[in-house]
């Protein structure tokens, strides 16, 4: 394995819509990110990933792009984007963008053209098929495949009487990657941004570019009237890897850039190597979701009722499977959450009594695992899930599609409970900068309500508190990137310790010269954990405790003496 600059980075993901608003319209913008670059530099990260800010009707907050070559006016101008890249670089921070390759907006000129008739030059840039009829003559989609955002993955278009494929929302038609002109257009676009100075991409929803092209019904059993969530029909298919190799040859290989593909929950460890193996023509890393829902909250509403408990054994074995399965073969990104998942302190930590301890403990794990860690904005101060009291406070397109059908089945109260635990909006609330109105995010009306705890949890308070979550993140980032333990933390091997311990996540990081032991208590009660105390010295922890019993959410990072 050749060492690369991006292995020695800590990434910071920014959701621009909710980061910092400078013009009072209630939506974060690029000047807002520029304003906060000093804060980001003080945090110590050296890479930022910015979620889409391209021109978009915002059906899915920018993942529905209508012009890849321009900045949406909500976020600013192309000059702002250039200035942001320039100013980040002067602070030693690289910038990666979100590259959306699976779909466009239905308002993108390509799709506007494609819809017009069946013979236009762009018709084949999207996936159009005839529908079917049931025995009563009612119109049905071409097959029974589900969409990720509820309902069928097809949408009917009156204009030509055909359906177009859309695995996300109706306003996000899937591109047809079988078409060589389309592939060239996407490569040109990626090169254009790299030439502008960006350092790479997080590549959105990359697992889905190739579809099963017979488009036959899934055999998965589903209730009548429902669609089959048979994601394999458009995930990780062999053909996809041809597209990626071509993209690699045409684009990536010509730049010193980094790429992180998003493969979601569909790809396993072996498949990750096909995407990003050291000798593969693909990406440099891939995000998977396997460790994100180890408190049982994923899926239907029934699972978000009652108290959620982290399955610590499952959580650590999932990490172990990925880390050991990737060792020497593929570099991993690590993260706790992104804009599609709930806040991690609400998932695996505690939002009240042990807020500080648990948020710090989660940071310590993230920043001592092998791979490149990505922090999601707000995580560094322990931002929590929403406290909304009405279903109407949520705005995500998935929620908008889900609520009408849920209302036919379950009470408003249960929908609310579910959304407060599982909705993507949990991670999309305004950044909590200070304790002034709207948490200092905007002087206008924020596009999503600020979480009520901003007076207690905010950047200003934590920047001046040496025991805060933020201060701990800074210390941990320094430890990882700039201390004498840098090499072992970045490149060292990984081994779980007491892997069947039900409450503690403990592991060693080691190389020929040194050994680090990380011990993290995932419980809100004291837990006993025996280890050879005398052979280690303490580097960082979040509480003052010398006993063999770990306090609630305590973590310890220790170094083997003489190592
Ligand atoms: C992004 C989501 C988005 C979807 C469609 C995902 O992987 O992270 O936020 O809704 O792709 O682009």
pLDDT per position as a tens digit, 81-118: 999 999 999 999 999 999 999 999 999 999 999 999 99
Delimit the CATH 3.20.20.80 region(s) of the chain. Answer: 5-102+180-469
Number of Cβ within 10 Å of residue 440's Cβ equals 20
Q: Vertex 315, ends 311 and 318: CA angle to 5°?
A: 140
Report the pLDDT value the prediction gives residue 297, as an integer from 0 to 100.
Answer: 81
Mutate to test the pocket of ligand 1, among 101, 170, 335, 340 (most ligand atoms within 8 A of CB): 340
State if residue 289 touches ligand 1 by the CB under 6 angstroms criterion.
no
Delimit the CATH 3.90.400.10 region(s) of the chain. Answer: 109-165
516: left (phi over 0), alpha (psi -120 to 50) or beta: beta
Share of the chain above pLDDT 70, in %: 100
CA of 51 from ligand 1 middle (Å) equals: 10
Q: pLDDT band for position 541 (50/70/90)?
A: very high
State if residue 425 touches ligand 1 by the CB under 6 angstroms criterion.
no
Q: pLDDT band for position 547 (50/70/90)?
A: confident
SS3 191: helix
Q: pLDDT band for position 399 (50/70/90)?
A: very high
Q: Are 244 and 281 in contact (CB under 8 A)?
A: yes
Residue nearest to atom 3 of ligand 1 (CA): 63
Report the pLDDT value the prediction gives residue 563, as an integer from 0 to 100.
Answer: 63
Q: pLDDT band for position 265 (50/70/90)?
A: low
State if residue 434 touches ligand 1 by the CB under 6 angstroms criterion.
no
CA of 207 from ligand 1 middle (Å) equals: 11
Report the pLDDT value the prediction gives residue 385, as an integer from 0 to 100.
Answer: 98
Of 72, 174, 262, 357, the active-site residue reads: 262
Report the range of poorest mean pLDDT among 270-274, 369-373, 544-548.
Answer: 544-548
Domain 109-165 is of which CATH architecture? Alpha-Beta Complex (3.90)
Kindly state the average pLDDT of the residues 299-323.
Answer: 89
Instruction: Give the Cα separation of 19 and 29 in Å (integer).
Output: 7
160-207 pLDDT tens trace? 999 999 999 999 999 999 999 999 999 999 999 999 999 999 999 999
Q: Vertex 85, ends 83 and 86: CA angle to 5°?
A: 60
**What CATH number was assigned to the domain covering residues 5-102+180-469?**
3.20.20.80
Instruction: Give the Cα separation of 349 and 385 in Å (integer).
Output: 11
Strands 555-560, 536-541: pairing is antiparallel
State if residue 262 touches ligand 1 by the CB under 6 angstroms criterion.
yes
Q: In residues, how long is the chain?
A: 563
232-255 pLDDT tens trace? 999 999 999 999 999 999 999 999
Residue nearest to atom 9 of ligand 1 (CA): 340
State if residue 60 touches ligand 1 by the CB under 6 angstroms criterion.
yes
Task: State if pTM tops 0.75.
Answer: yes
State if residue 63 touches ligand 1 by the CB under 6 angstroms criterion.
yes
Q: Which atom of ligand 1 is least distant from the CA of 64? A: 12
459-481 pLDDT tens trace? 999 999 999 999 999 999 999 99
Q: Which atom of ligand 1 is least distant from the CA of 168? A: 5
Q: pLDDT band for position 304 (50/70/90)?
A: confident
DSSP 392: G
Report the pLDDT value the prediction gives residue 204, as an integer from 0 to 100.
Answer: 96
39-91 pLDDT tens trace? 999 999 999 999 999 999 999 999 999 999 999 999 999 999 999 999 999 99
**What CATH number was assigned to the domain covering residues 493-560?**
2.60.40.1180
How far, CA to CA in Å, does 476 sit from each of 10, 48, 200, 249, 431? 10, 17, 25, 37, 21
Whether residue 204 lies in the annotated active site:
yes
Instruction: Give the Cα separation of 540 and 558 in Å (integer).
Output: 7
Residue nearest to atom 2 of ligand 1 (CA): 340
Of 64, 80, 106, 204, the active-site residue reads: 204
CA of 408 from ligand 1 middle (Å) equals: 27
Higher pLDDT pick, 254 / 298: 254
The mean pLDDT of the chain is: 96
Report the pLDDT value the prediction gives residue 78, as an integer from 0 to 100.
Answer: 98
State if residue 168 touches ligand 1 by the CB under 6 angstroms criterion.
yes
Share of the chain above pLDDT 90, in %: 93
State if residue 71 touches ligand 1 by the CB under 6 angstroms criterion.
no
Q: Which atom of ligand 1 is least distant from the CA of 262? A: 7
Kindly report the backbone phi and psi dihedral angles of residue 71, in degrees, each rounded to the nearest multiple of 5, phi listed first. Answer: -100, 135
Q: Position of tokens 């990490």?
A: 319
Report the pLDDT value the prediction gives residue 193, as an integer from 0 to 100.
Answer: 98
For the cut 80, the answer to whether the pLDDT of residue 539 exceeds it is yes
Query: What is 408-421 written as a DSSP string?
Result: HHS-HHHHHHHHHH
Nearest to 382 by CA among 310, 290, 294, 454: 454
Report the pLDDT value the prediction gives residue 300, as an integer from 0 to 100.
Answer: 72
CA of 397 from ligand 1 middle (Å) equals: 11
For the cut 80, the answer to whether the pLDDT of residue 34 exceeds it is yes
Q: Which atom of ligand 1 is least distant from the CA of 205? A: 7
């Amino acid at each position: 394995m050749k060492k690369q600059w991006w292995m020695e980075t800590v990434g910071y993901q920014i959701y621009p819509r909710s980061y910092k608003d400078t013009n009072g319209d209630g939506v974060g913008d690029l000047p807002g990110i520029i304003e906060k670059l000093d804060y980001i530099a003080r945090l110590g990260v050296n890479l930022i990933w910015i979620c889409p800010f391209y021109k978009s009707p915002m059906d899915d907050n920018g993942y529905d792009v209508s012009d890849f070559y321009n900045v949406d006016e909500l976020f600013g101008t192309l000059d702002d984007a250039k200035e942001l890249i320039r100013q980040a670089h002067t602070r030693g921070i690289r910038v990666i963008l979100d590259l959306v390759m699976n779909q466009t907006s239905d308002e993108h000129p390509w799709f506007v053209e494609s819809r017009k008739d069946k013979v236009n030059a762009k018709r084949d840039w999207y996936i159009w098929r005839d529908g079917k009829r049931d025995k009563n003559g009612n119109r049905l989609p071409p097959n029974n495949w589900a969409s990720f955002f509820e309902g069928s993955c097809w949408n009917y278009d009156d204009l030509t009487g055909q359906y177009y494929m859309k695995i996300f929302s109706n306003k996000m038609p899937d591109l047809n990657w079988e078409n060589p002109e389309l592939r060239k257009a996407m490569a040109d676009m990626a090169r254009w941004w790299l030439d502008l100075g960006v350092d790479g991409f997080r590549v959105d929803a990359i697992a889905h570019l190739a579809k099963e092209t017979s488009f036959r019904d899934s055999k998965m059993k589903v209730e009548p009237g429902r669609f089959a969530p048979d994601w394999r029909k458009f995930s990780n298919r062999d053909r996809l890897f041809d597209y990626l190799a071509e993209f690699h040859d045409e684009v990536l290989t010509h730049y010193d850039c980094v790429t992180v593909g998003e493969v979601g929950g569909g790809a396993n460890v072996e498949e990750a190597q096909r995407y990003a193996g050291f000798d593969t023509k693909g990406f440099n890393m891939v995000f998977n979701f396997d460790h994100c829902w180890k408190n049982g909250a994923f899926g239907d509403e029934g699972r978000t009722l009652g108290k959620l408990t982290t399955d610590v054994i499952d959580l650590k074995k999932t990490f172990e499977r990925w880390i050991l399965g990737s060792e020497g073969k593929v570099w991993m990104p690590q993260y706790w959450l992104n804009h599609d998942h709930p806040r991690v302190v609400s998932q695996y930590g505690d939002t009240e009594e042990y807020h500080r301890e648990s948020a710090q403990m989660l940071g310590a794990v993230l920043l001592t695992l092998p791979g490149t860690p990505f922090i999601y904005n707000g995580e560094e101060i322990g931002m929590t899930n929403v406290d909304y009291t009405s279903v109407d406070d949520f705005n995500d397109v998935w929620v908008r599609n889900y609520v009408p059908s849920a209302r036919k089945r379950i009470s408003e109260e249960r929908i609310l409970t579910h959304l407060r635990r599982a909705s993507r909006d949990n991670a999309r609330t305004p950044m909590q900068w200070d304790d002034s109105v709207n948490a200092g995010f905007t002087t206008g009306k924020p596009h999503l309500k600020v979480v009520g705890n901003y007076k207690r949890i905010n950047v200003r308070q934590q920047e001046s508190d040496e025991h805060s979550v933020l201060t701990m993140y800074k210390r941990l980032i320094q430890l990882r990137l700039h201390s004498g333990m840098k090499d072992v933390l970045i490149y060292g091997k990984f081994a779980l310790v007491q892997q069947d311990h039900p409450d503690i996540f403990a592991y060693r990081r080691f190389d020929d010269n040194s050994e680090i032991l990380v011990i993290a208590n995932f419980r809100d009660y004291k837990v006993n954990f025996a280890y050879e105390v005398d052979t280690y010295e303490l580097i960082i922890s979040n509480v003052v405790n010398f006993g063999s019993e770990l306090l609630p959410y305590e973590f310890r990072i220790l170094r083997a003496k003489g190592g």
